[in-house]
Chains A and B, each alone.
Chain A
Amino acid sequence: DGGITQSPKYLFRKEGQNVTLSCEQNLNHDAMYWYRQDPGQGLRLIYYSQIVNDFQKGDIAEGYSVSREKKESFPLTVTSAQKNPTAFYLCASSIRGSLGSNQPQHFGDGTRLSIL
């Protein structure tokens, strides 16, 4: 079955540590996204990538970094500069679409990050 796999499901970070969240998709989608979800708030876009070797900052990119070396993979690193990293992180992918189109996004089941 095609889909998006996020790992691990739960992750704990010590103060001052960087951690990397994995996101892999086998849907052959060009576009991939990282969101953060906090209680009572909508999903907020961290980074997105429309094509391999290219990515753009979203609305809350500070304290995060990404890479897009392969079409199927879009890992997110939460750095020690992110002062409030405890959240539910969601990865998504979509067909890139032409300019002015709008494509549904397919989501993984998330990684819950907590601070020890």
Chain B
Amino acid sequence: SQKIEQNSEALNIQEGKTATLTCNYTNYSPAYLQWYRQDPGRGPVFLLLIRENEKEKRKERLKVTFDTTLKQSLFHITASQPADSATYLCAPSNGYNKLIFGAGTRLAVHP
């Protein structure tokens, strides 16, 4: 069955550093991959979408890569701030608006 893996352990980094979160998938060949941010007790908020023919996508301090050979996406936040502390979810898709969500990785940025 399809499996989406994100680091279950929290990622703790110092303010100003770059945070890198990993999303690996197996038994799946998604055409798209979305990243969401979720704060405690709130719904996820869409951040970025990358297509299989795009190697990299950027939006302000965010960068996403999509390696279909490694079956992996990396999510980077540069110049991280305490306000970036949240859980980040990856969601690959085959292109029919049906997403499969990973469990998410919690990021904590310390001043």
> Which of A's residues lie within 8 Å of B, judged by CB?
4, 6, 31, 35, 40-45, 48, 50, 90, 92, 94, 96-97, 99-110
Given contacts A40-B103, A102-B32, A102-B49, whether A31 and B42 have CB atoms under 8 Å apart is no
Complex: chain B residue closest to A30, CB-CB: B97
Given contacts A41-B103, A104-B34, whether A110 and B97 have CB atoms under 8 Å apart is no
The answer to whether A103 and B97 have CB atoms under 8 Å apart is yes
State A41–B5 Cα separation when bound (angstroms). Answer: 10
Given contacts A43-B89, A102-B31, A104-B49, whether A92 and B43 have CB atoms under 8 Å apart is yes
Which listed residue, B8, B43, B96, B98, touches A90 by the CB 8 Å rule?
Answer: B43
Which listed residue, B31, B93, B97, touches A31 by the CB 8 Å rule?
Answer: B97
B23: shortest Cβ distance to chain A, in Å? 11
Across the A-B interface, give the 9 residue pairs with the lowest CB-CB distance, nearest first: A107-B43, A42-B101, A104-B46, A102-B32, A43-B101, A42-B103, A100-B95, A102-B93, A109-B43
Mostly, the B contact residues are loop
A14: shortest Cβ distance to chain B, in Å? 24
Which listed residue, A6, A40, A94, touches B97 by the CB 8 Å rule?
Answer: A94
The answer to whether B41 and A109 have CB atoms under 8 Å apart is yes
Chain B neighbourhood of A103, CB < 8 A: 97
The answer to whether B100 and A109 have CB atoms under 8 Å apart is no
Chain B neighbourhood of A45, CB < 8 A: 98-99
State A100–B98 Cα separation when bound (angstroms). Answer: 11
A102: shortest Cβ distance to chain B, in Å? 4
The answer to whether A110 and B95 have CB atoms under 8 Å apart is no
State A45–B97 Cα separation when bound (angstroms). Answer: 12
